[in-house]
């Protein structure tokens, strides 16, 4: 990595479902499991609340990576929400890949309320991957850059 990249801190938006992943993030906190401060969490009732527009919006506004966390398939608080998420995001991410957007900038991860450790390790890993890609250039909106 170049010296430039050592300075670079990626901005990561994490959408977390209220019932599993947000609680998982809370548990990571309770257990003092560290992950980079670059990760900012937005609480949604269910992963299926996340509209592809929110993800693109994050990139437009300067995010370098977007991760979506929900209950494990089969464990959705609303029974079926994450099954739709899984299809929607599979399709959306495949389309972004098709447009030549780096596929490592997006991720879906299932994190239960009990998986504080998984939450932290997922965020550490994702932040590392995104950092290695460097700033998001392919879905940026120059008007939102300083």
91 forms part of the interface with another protein (CB under 8 A): yes
Binding mask 49-88 for another protein (x = CB under 8 A): xxxxxx-xxxxxxxx---------xxxxxxxxx-xx-xxx
4 forms part of the interface with another protein (CB under 8 A): no
Q: Which of residues 98-127 bind another protein (CB under 8 A)?
A: 98-104, 106-108, 120
If the CB atoms of residues 131 and 139 are measured against another protein, the closer one turns out to be: 139
37 forms part of the interface with another protein (CB under 8 A): yes
8 forms part of the interface with another protein (CB under 8 A): no
Give the per-residue SS3 of the chain.
CCHHHHHCCCCEEEEEECCCHHHHHHHHHHCCCCCCCCEEEEEECCHHHCCHHHHHHHHHCCCCEEEEEECCCCCCCCCCHHHHHHHHHHHHHHHHHHCCCCHHHEEEEECCCCCHHHHHHHHHHHHHHHHHHCCCCCCCCHHHCC
33 forms part of the interface with another protein (CB under 8 A): yes
């Amino acid at each position: 990595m170049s010296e430039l990249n050592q300075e670079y801190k990626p901005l990561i938006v994490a959408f977390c479902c209220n019932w599993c992943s947000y609680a998982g993030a809370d548990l990571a906190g309770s257990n003092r499991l560290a992950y980079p401060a670059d990760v900012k969490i937005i609480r949604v009732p269910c992963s299926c609340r996340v509209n592809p527009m929110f993800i693109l919006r994050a990139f437009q506004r300067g995010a370098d990576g977007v991760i979506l966390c929900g209950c494990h398939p089969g464990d959705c608080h609303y029974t079926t929400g994450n099954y739709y998420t899984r299809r929607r995001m599979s399709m959306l991410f495949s389309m972004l890949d098709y447009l030549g957007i780096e596929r490592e900038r997006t991720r879906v991860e299932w994190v239960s309320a009990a998986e504080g450790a998984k939450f932290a390790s997922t965020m550490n890993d994702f932040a590392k991957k995104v950092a290695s890609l460097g700033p998001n250039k392919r879905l940026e909106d120059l008007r939102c850059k300083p």
